[in-house]
Amino acid sequence: MALTKRQKEVLDAIASFVEEHGYSPSFEELASNLGLASLATVHKHILALESKHYLKRGYNQSRSIEVTSKYFEDQKRYESASRATSEVPLLGRIAAGSPVESFATRDSLDFADYAGDPNTFALEVRGESMIEDHICDGDYVLVQKTDRVRDGEIVVALVANAEATLKRLYDEGDDIRLQPANSAMTPIRVPKRDVEIQGRVLAVLRKFR
């Protein structure tokens, strides 16, 4: 049976109190912690949580409320589900200057808005070739894995099967132009056969501290 929002608050308050003090709270302490004026309301919530097998009580005993294993199992499932739906792999660093050899890492970033998509990954930017598109050194880009992109899109391109770079892509027939967003830099032109498109940029994340 599902918990109401208030029942979850009562249950969390009991579990937190026990963790902090090593014993269960009294009804008065619960009422105070939750901002409830009536002990009868606390009692009602306790009975409901007992009926749903989240609490056990020793009758005619003070401070006898016990949180059952069901609560902790639910918490673990919730935390696992949250991690699974809000994190994407941080696969490595990507050059935004001259191409550099790409490498893998095992970190992850939390992007709840893009959760659950196995074709989404993150890269850390190194270099300043995309600064006029407001993508700076140290930023993270969120990338959709795809090899089909439109002219002018910001892409992750693997050059000569060894060097990865972040640029705007333009198809020029036999060649691909990888255009920096920095007027002080020149574009990279390579034969189409030597370029593998690994994805398009969806979003940019910047940490200020």
| Burial environment of residue 89 by CB neighbours within 10 A (0 to 12, 13 to 18, 19 or more) | middle
- How far is Cα 206 from Cα 154, in angstroms, rounded to an integer? 17
In which residue are the tokens 């302490």 written?
Answer: 29
And the tokens for 40? 């009868």
Which member of 167, 183, 192, 207 is catalytic? 167
Nearest to 193 by CA among 158, 165, 164: 158
DSSP per-residue letters across 150-191: -TT-EEEEEETTTEEEEEEEEEETTEEEEE-S-TTSPPEEEE
131-155 b/e (C-beta count within 10 Å ≥ 16 → b): bebebeeebbbbbbeeeebeeeebb
- How far is Cα 26 from Cα 71, in angstroms, rounded to an integer? 19
**Can 167 be counted among the known catalytic residues?**
yes
And the tokens for 48? 């409901």
Q: How many angstroms separate the most distant Cα atoms in the chain?
A: 85
Which member of 98, 102, 108, 129 is catalytic? 129
**Can 129 be counted among the known catalytic residues?**
yes
- What is the amino acid identity at position 177? R
Question: What positions carry a catalytic annotation?
Answer: 129, 167
